[in-house]
Amino acid sequence: MLDNRKLGELPEINGKLVKSIFRVVFHDRRLQYTEHQQLEGWRWNRPGDRILDIDIPMSVGIIDPRANPTQLNTVEFLWDPAKRTSVFIQVHCISTEFTMRKHGGEKGVPFRVQIDTFKENENGEYTEHLHSASCQIKVFKPKGADRKQKTDREKMEKRTPHEKEKYQPSYETTILTECSPWPEITYVNNSPSPGFNSSHSSFSLGEGNGSPNHQPEPPPPVTDNLLPTTTPQEAQQWLHRNRFSTFTRLFTNFSGADLLKLTRDDVIQICGPADGIRLFNALKGRMVRPRLTIYVCQESLQLREQQQQQQQQQQKHEDGDSNGTFFVYHAIYLEELTAVELTEKIAQLFSISPCQISQIYKQGPTGIHVLISDEMIQNFQ
């Protein structure tokens, strides 16, 4: 990766990092129109695998490489244009996987490696487009690649020197040709890829050589509940986000309503006990219950309510009014079961500082006041 700016060009990126997004896409226009369907088909045939990875140990100078698990053909990273940077990528799909299995289909479809580079804007987000370049590639299995290279060499050797001039010479590194951004400039401006901004909300690549077994999964959003109105395509995305990629093919045509109709036994039978229970709980959107719930009410309110209750009882005897009085309690949910946690939760509930609460007592037998301790909270009913 070389900084090919002219002298004095783009001084705003001097001493700053830029972001590059790598993509493997189809070179043929015909396949570009059906790219989404082609990649989805590949995903279902190869669950858990990625199309593109960065070979971390081989690469030099790349910072914070990331791969979004929902974009199998894309990786991105930061790099310093002033320093030596080299990137080795691994393409895990071969050109013949997207050809019809007919005689002569061994030729395979051409792919394109495209690199879009962005600079940082005022908000610290890498969304301002700097440069785009690409080159055509074909990917074969090792024996097929060796055979193709040998055939190409033999063809070239038979050509005259004049004919050889029409072809590009071989290079030690990949030479990219400048091109338009992928797929167009509006995409770059309006839909910046996640990550590399102040929130750091995107996903990280695992260390090593990018083996599918070591790919991280995205943490599911807190409110990511499946709805009955979810389309089959959205349901597939939900399964990926919630770490059920292995079962996307089984549920290919299932909408949200279809999945939500499954019983616990259905899901266990389809996915096995461990994943089945996990999927059933995820479908039902079950929240983890707190370890202890305590209900509290301010005493001053209680006294006022008691006085009102006495007055209302007297009034009821006089004019037959049957309005009852109720006490307003607040629920406090405890996870750690410690006195410190209880103090903080009570202080938060009544909008005071925890320092203002020196001690907490529980009214015990015969009205005695027992000092609250961690052990006592752990033994609360």
pLDDT digits (tens, 9 = 90+) for 143-175: 777 887 888 888 888 888 888 888 877 788 888
115 close to 176: Cβ distance less than 8 angstroms: yes
pTM for this model (two decimals)? 0.47
Q: Are 58 and 88 in contact (CB under 8 A)?
A: yes
CATH number, span 16-176: 2.60.40
HSE value, Cβ hemisphere, 13 Å, CA-based, for 309: 10
- Condensed to tens digits (0 to 9), the pLDDT of residues 68-96 reads 888 888 999 999 988 889 999 999 888 87
Residue 190 CA: distances (Å) to CA of 37, 127, 184, 185, 197 = 23, 9, 10, 9, 15
pLDDT tens-digit readout, 201-260: 333 344 333 333 433 444 444 457 788 888 888 888 888 888 888 888 888 888 888 888
The backbone region for 21, taken as left when phi is positive above 0, alpha when psi lies in -120 to 50, beta otherwise, is: beta
Domain ranges of the chain: 16-176, 230-282, 290-306+327-377
3-state secondary structure of 25: strand
Encode pLDDT of 34-65 as tens digits: 777 777 778 887 888 888 999 988 999 999 89
User: What is the Cα–Cα distance from 226 to 229, expressed in whole angstroms?
Assistant: 9
Query: CB-based contacts of 70: which residues, under 8 Å, 6+ apart?
Result: 218, 237, 240, 241
Straight-line distance from the first to the last Cα atom of the chain, in angstroms, rounded to the nearest whole number: 64
Instruction: Choose the weakest-confidence range: 99-108, 252-261, 355-364.
Output: 99-108
Q: Order of strands across the sheet with 111-120?
A: 62-66, 74-79, 18-26, 111-120, 126-137, 177-178
Task: Give yes or no for residue 98 having a pLDDT over 70.
Answer: yes
CA 54 vs CA 64, 69, 72, 211, 228: distances in Å: 11, 14, 12, 10, 38
**How many angstroms separate the CA atoms of 191 and 317, rounded?**
70
Q: Which residues contact 28 (CB under 8 A, 6 or more apart)?
A: 109, 110
Flag whether pLDDT at 191 surpasses 50.
Answer: no
Instruction: Tokens for 80, please give them.
Output: 């310093």
Q: What is the mean pLDDT of the chain?
A: 78
Q: What percent of the chain has pLDDT over 70?
A: 79
pLDDT band at 115 (very low <50, low <70, confident <90, very high): very high
Give the largest CA-CA distance in the chain: 119
Query: In this structure, how many other beta carbons lie within 10 angstroms of the beta carbon of residue 16?
Result: 13
